[in-house]
Structure 1
Amino acid sequence: MHIPETMKAAVMTKPREIVVETRPVPELNGDEVLVKVMAVGVCGSDVHYYEHGRIGNAIVKNPMILGHECAGEVVAVGGAVSRFRGGERVAIEPQTTCGRCPACKSGKYNLCPDVVFFATPPVDGAFAQYVKAREDFLFPIPDHLPYEEASLVEPFSVGIHAANRTGLKPGATVAIMGMGPVGLMAVVAAKAYGASRIFVTDLEPIRLEAALRLGATHAVNVRERDAVEAILARTDGLGVDAAWETAGNPKALQSALLSVRRGGKLAVVGLPMQAEIPFNVHAITDREIDIYGVFRYANTYPSGIAFLASGIADAASLITDRYSLERTQDALERALNNKSGSLKVMVYPNA
């Protein structure tokens, strides 16, 4: 395949400013693969970096390429690569870990202290025509799975990891607070794991409607009704087996805790702006609630691809806005300012 020496990349030069620049195509190490990026989803973290220039202690100090939910076509491989060849379609797990630390060796490589993650300062991301990745973080996708749906395996993986962390079993009941893209894909994860009832909460009707299409059984608009009251009313006052808070909203986290049955499980997925928030310790201890932190994901991509390829849910219906690489700033503005009308915004770097 012909590979150019340079490529276009959408670079954040400062908050609220994206400039399309010409950059060298990445050079490969022996165990790396060069991928022509065909689709990149706009994530909430991309929007946060774009708006504020930081997430907690992760600060954008130099021009940086955002984007980490991506899929594309293999165009070149390093000399030590054995699993891929040119022309193959792949989803990219946007992280590289050391493989040697205790976390990596235990299978919890998402906790590797030396992880390198796309679009996390100072690492460039995927709003570019080409990216490189180590071969063990690439996964083949079937021909019938479109690139944009394959890019959704990244947010889907967060929901799969939450299901794994909370030990979700067939027949279980689950509540998911916050129907942003991660929350919506978490609905698909709960469905894939066999949840019998899936309660969802949000402020926006478009997101609640999307959740119901994806497999949620009960939707609560928290502008109109208290989430805990609604969930308890439909579970005979018992609560759900597991609750996942995906919005990063302190009030939603409190509601998630209070919606869990005695002996149930709470997963903290979303990150609030403030590091410390009040929590009902009496509710935790009196009911012996197990609390799980969820940080990204590990060992989820093969099952995520298999689930989406099976047609378990119409993931494509989440894609509401499509932009070229040259309009990456418009894509980020759309995701930032149109929460009542947009679900997943997608960028196509090689369109």
Structure 2
Amino acid sequence: MRAITVEPGKPSSGRLEDIPEPPSAHGSVLVKTLAVGVCGTDVEIVSGGYGWAPPGKARLVIGHESLGEVLEAPPGSGLDRGDWVVGIVRRPDPVPCASCAVGEWDMCRNGRYTERGIKEIDGYASERYRIEPEFAVVVDKKLGERGVLLEPASVVAKAWDQIERIGARTTWKPRSALVTGAGPIGLLAALLGVERGLEVRVLDRVTEGPKPGLVRDLGATYHASSVREAGAGVDVVIECTGVGRLIYDAMQIVAPVGLVCLAGVSSGGRTLPVDVQGLNREMVLENTVVFGTVNANRRHYEAAAASLARADQGWLDRLLTRRVPLDRWAEALVRKPADVKPVIAFA
């Protein structure tokens, strides 16, 4: 079968090649891949800047945003032939920490987790793969290829879950939110905010292309100004860019008793002069919470699946801005100005 593989750490090593069929030891459920989404992590892995091959192997099958159809499933697995599923990315460490032991591998404390298509386990960018039933999430077939959005949606479902859990410290509930960055994560964060009845604002740099219209059609407001102009006084900020200046400004403009959720990973290597003592004073006196979030567990995947099923399907369609056939897979990793979510089509 065909698969997209790379040699982690080696730039330009990506290729489409024939690999053996997945062994039954990899999982009792056999899945035919329908589509794989592409994100910045995939680009970083293919460029040689990230990723780990499975132990004893030189190459890694990439792909962590998946959509597939069940070909084989054992009795009692909760899955049937023909079900459409998305594979969960992260696996708990072999000797689980307290979080991994209860299925919260997204909160792993010792870092010995593994991740399909990223860290030490082959991913989903092969024509077929095997998976354990507990790591396969059924999606409504009415979603069609839009189901490939479930993995990124699970990340923001976790973000909102954490916001709500932390927000339970007070009887006051947020009414407004600013999302910085209108990529797939930012747009899906805005979707889940609107579904919660919040007044949502989205900040990005572009003034043309699909992003402004996507935000407006969601019922949110689009801004191409600054954090201070777009978000002054909002109750919640979900920061999806990892840009230092935006992070700092978000901490300053959020309302008293507000929450700042950091969901964007910074590249590092850049410094920013800040008044740490002044920022500390504001945060202490205003009960501000700033926290980071990454990855998701099964509960978040299931919540995201419900959110996508409720969403306007035409709006979700517009997030899938390019559909690239498998034999031209590399084109999906070359970013274009109008891109939101490129998808590699296997079927």
Determine what percentage of the aligned residue pairs are the same residue: 25
- Report what 2:31 is aligned to: 35
Q: What TM-score, normalized by structure 1, do the two folds share?
A: 0.84
- Report what 1:117 is aligned to: 115
Aligned letter for 2:89?
A: P
- Report what 1:272 is aligned to: 266
By how many angstroms is 1:321 displaced? 0.7
Do the aligned partners of 2:91 and 2:105 also contact (CA within 8 Å) in 1?
no
- Report what 2:229 is aligned to: 229
Q: Residue 153 of structure 2 is aligned with which of 150, 156, 160?
A: 156
- Report what 1:90 is aligned to: 85
* Whole-Å separation in 2 of the counterparts to 1:214 and 1:158: 22
Aligned letter for 1:76?
A: E
- Report what 2:19 is aligned to: 23
Aligned letter for 1:241?
A: D
CA 1:246–1:287 in structure 2 vs 1: closer, same or farther (change >3 Å)?
same
Deviations 1:18-50 (A, max 9, x none): 311100111123853111010111011111222
* Whole-Å separation in 2 of the counterparts to 1:115 and 1:136: 16
Alignment of 1:191-340 (within 5 A): 191-195=194-198, 197-205=199-207, 206=209, 208-213=211-216, 215=218, 217-221=220-224, 225-232=225-232, 239-274=233-268, 278=272, 281=276, 282-283=278-279, 284-298=283-297, 299-312=299-312, 314-333=315-334, 335=335, 338=336, 340=337
Aligned residues: 325
Deviations 1:153-194 (A, max 9, x none): 111111111111111797621111111111111111212222
CA 1:203–1:62 in structure 2 vs 1: closer, same or farther (change >3 Å)?
farther
Aligned letter for 1:198?
A: V
By how many angstroms is 1:126 displaced? 1.7
Do the aligned partners of 1:331 and 1:346 also contact (CA within 8 Å) in 2?
yes
SS in structure 1 of the partner of residue 257 of structure 2:
strand
Identify which range, 29-38 or 97-106, moves more after superposition. 97-106
Contiguous gaps of at least 5 residues in structure 2: none
Deviations 1:244-270 (A, max 9, x none): 111121122123222311121111111
Structure showing the higher helix proportion among its residues: 2
SS in structure 2 of the partner of residue 198 of structure 1:
strand
* Whole-Å separation in 1 of the counterparts to 2:98 and 2:340: 38
CA 1:133–1:213 in structure 2 vs 1: closer, same or farther (change >3 Å)?
farther
Alignment of 1:21-170 (within 5 A): 21-29=17-25, 32-51=28-47, 53-55=48-50, 58=51, 62-77=58-73, 82-98=77-93, 100-112=96-108, 113-146=111-144, 148-167=145-164
Identify which range, 314-323 or 7-16, moves more after superposition. 7-16
Structure showing the higher strand proportion among its residues: 1
Q: What TM-score, normalized by structure 2, do the two folds share?
A: 0.85
SS in structure 2 of the partner of residue 15 of structure 1:
coil
Contiguous gaps of at least 5 residues in structure 1: 1-6, 233-238
* Whole-Å separation in 1 of the counterparts to 2:259 and 2:340: 28
